[in-house]
Chains A and B, each alone.
Chain A
């Protein structure tokens, strides 16, 4: 019965859809944008499927785009993970005074948007002695004259660089993945902004650019990495990468250098001489929401009392 109907109409469902798809595709292709850069970015391959020559070409195109946009030369690096390195982070909660120097050190290093404001690190404040594992109800807008305050302690939270990252599994386009040195990275050219990863992250560590990231050219840090702190686009998700542009060149992340009390520790988990291994061996460390089996590489500990 149905088939008869189709024959009579002369246009079956399949043909109609084909035509509609072609028409839509035609509408979606902006033929007025004829510049090479646009078409090259349109057909850019997945980062992990490109060979070195292709990556080099993409990087030089992106550098040119940044220069046009910010009127400033930006170097976009592509340092690979070093063999025998698995990055780990330690944070001494008995020392952290909640001053947020790490937050703004991170913003300056990683070219986050200033307005609307994007912070990769959130410093939470807890009252001593009360139930404190309730992360969702922790205070992050505290603003006293001086820190630390007597009755509180502070806990900075950022991407935990999980060994088993839920965000990576949630991503429908494979725009985010875990590199061999344990850093979970995002390819901003493949991110479609669906924010499934944000919903999947139990630590609230990912941030979304609702508008064009707003950062004046003079505040752009020109030393960037393709998977790290290069200027982002509107509609992409971004996150902490342990300062991939610094750590893969042997330097400490910016938050480590910004911390005035030295509460932040960083190193190679595979190196028994590193300070992070010392902390794991000699202190009682814990990780956030360990019961979720995400296996974070971010270790909190209390070195001493006051």
Chain B
């Protein structure tokens, strides 16, 4: 009799343990899902940002930039300023609105603060370009590979030549 009780208790314990493990694993995947992305498209010689900004005090006042970065016109969010996205305490990282620090290679989290529906579709593989294996490892492009973050609208490009018309075939 005693034996049965022990084995039943063992089974229950095992099931509970297994269930718990399974839950924990699922949670783990949810939190730490990594997207394989190529390195961010920095302009030549500009990264790490700290090579210039080391020891430079962060000036949080919005103003017209004159020394460097004059080419950046912030069309993305009029009235915004660098530190809406860039981390003033460590220029080699980005910062979310809630203060969380994000690496440049995970900048999609930053874009997703406002463009949540797009981020959801990007994760599902619907928005943006994925390469690699359809049944295996996929490479995702970061938002900034296609959209210049300071002026993100996709720029028109030159089309490749049209097909030869049947009347032009010699």
Minimum CB–CB distance from B101 to chain A (whole Å) comes to: 28
Among B128, B129, B134, B162, the most chain A Cβ lie within 10 Å of the Cβ of B134
At the interface, yes or no: B156 with Cβ under 8 Å from chain A?
Answer: yes
At the interface, yes or no: B23 with Cβ under 8 Å from chain A?
Answer: no
Residues on A with beta carbons closer than 8 Å to the beta carbon of B146? 260-262
Residue pair A99, B159 in contact (C-beta under 8 Å): yes
Residues on A with beta carbons closer than 8 Å to the beta carbon of B86? none
Q: For chain A, residues 117 to 147, give those with C-beta under 8 angstroms from any C-beta of chain B.
A: 117, 119, 122, 140-147
At the interface, yes or no: B99 with Cβ under 8 Å from chain A?
Answer: no
Q: Contact partner of B126 among A104, A144, A261, A278, CB < 8 A?
A: A278
Q: Contact partner of A257 among B131, B157, B159, B169, CB < 8 A?
A: B131
Residue pair A141, B162 in contact (C-beta under 8 Å): yes
A278: nearest chain-B partner, CB-CB: B124
Residue pair B134, A250 in contact (C-beta under 8 Å): yes
Complex Cα distance, B164 from A247, in Å, reads: 29
Complex Cα distance, B141 from A282, in Å, reads: 22
Contact with B along A259-291 (1 / 0, CB 8 A): 111100111100100110011001100000000
What DSSP secondary structure best describes chain B's contact surface? loop
At the interface, yes or no: A101 with Cβ under 8 Å from chain B?
Answer: yes
At the interface, yes or no: A148 with Cβ under 8 Å from chain B?
Answer: yes
At the interface, yes or no: A228 with Cβ under 8 Å from chain B?
Answer: no
Residue pair A268, B130 in contact (C-beta under 8 Å): no
At the interface, yes or no: B135 with Cβ under 8 Å from chain A?
Answer: yes
At the interface, yes or no: B4 with Cβ under 8 Å from chain A?
Answer: no
Measured CB to CB, the residues of A under 8 A from B are 85, 92, 97-101, 103-104, 116-117, 119, 122, 140-148, 247, 250-252, 256-257, 259-262, 265-268, 271, 274-275, 278-279, 282-283, 303
